[in-house]
Amino acid sequence: MTTTFALHPSASKTLIAHAVARLPQVQSALNAGKIFIGHGTTNIAVAQALLDMKVERPEQYVAGVVTGQVACITNPASRMQPWCLDHGAALKTDWLDFIKSFQSGDIFIKGANAVDPSGRVGILMANEYGGTIGQAIGTLKARGIEIIVPVGLEKLIPSCTEAQKGLGIDRTEIRLGVPVGYMVLDNITLVTEIESLKILYGIDAAMIGGGGVGGMEGAVILAADCPSEQQAHDLLHEIKKLNRQKPLLLDKTPCKDCLTPCDFVRK
């Protein structure tokens, strides 16, 4: 039986987060290894699902943010370190030192700004050293560490490899928002709404549309193949609960404090 429904972005983030937490390799690393969870709105939901807690000040765990009509950043001075979990315990440690101790079986969780039909993801980088992924990627690739990327299909674009062409912090002088570079990642464990429905409910699904108004901006419309009428009803019950969540509200760095002012403040 095919059933259709829409998920707004905050609902998708929670669905995806619960799926990431359910992955066997994540549970194994949580109990007997190490997990790094980078900054980001979806990763906040992942941390909450894994640690069974609520993040009271989400702005402290977000670096890049699209809000207030621009792609910008949060205040660096107020940011907390990313989550570094060792056998399920959150450590207060330098995250780069933590990554240097990674071994096979440990997990690196990083969000993305784009995903394409080939399964590649794109990451915007406003830091001149590449931010989290730029500083960690060499160690991760050299050691064969699994990179899990939770990302909603609201961020679906035609091609991440095409998107990176022409980008760079010093290559966009006229812009609205922070200047950015771009990194494409492949050979990752991708978790979108589609993978999440399979992981959590054993249901195959496909994206059939997107967009909306009145709080459903950025929504993903999905068709799911449910084995029974009852499972379809049960799934839609869960979807309705997810869609009751309110959007996450975050503030960007005030324009007066920006080190790379853009056309947003120019008349």
Q: What average pLDDT does the structure give for the chain?
A: 94
**Per-residue pLDDT at 266 exceeds 70:** no
Q: What is the pLDDT of residue 264?
A: 76
Mean pLDDT, to the nearest integer, of 9-32? 98
Q: What is the pLDDT of residue 108?
A: 99
**Per-residue pLDDT at 62 exceeds 80:** yes
Domains and CATH numbers, the chain: 10-200 (3.40.50)
**Per-residue pLDDT at 209 exceeds 70:** yes
d(CA 26, CA 4): 29
pLDDT per position as a tens digit, 109-168: 999 999 999 999 999 999 889 999 999 999 999 999 999 999 999 999 999 999 999 899
**pLDDT confidence bin for 267, thresholds 50/70/90:** low
**Per-residue pLDDT at 16 exceeds 80:** yes
**pLDDT confidence bin for 195, thresholds 50/70/90:** very high
The four Cα atoms 97, 100, 101, 107 give a dihedral, to 10 degrees, of 110
Q: What is the pLDDT of residue 70?
A: 86
**pLDDT confidence bin for 75, thresholds 50/70/90:** confident
Label each residue of the chain as H, E or C. CEEEEEECHHHHHHHHHHHHHHCHHHHHHHHHCEEEECCCHHHHHHHHHHHCCCCCCHHHHCCEEEECCEEEECCHHHCCCCEEEECCEECCCCHHHHHHCCCCCCEEECCCCEECCCCCEEEEECCCCCHHHHHHHHHHHHHCCEEEEECCHHHECCCHHHHCCCCCHHHCCCCCECCCEEEEECCCEEECHHHHHHHHHCCEEEEEEECCCCCCCCCEEEEEECCCHHHHHHHHHHHHHHHCCCCCCCCCCCHHHCCCCCHHHCC
d(CA 79, CA 236): 37
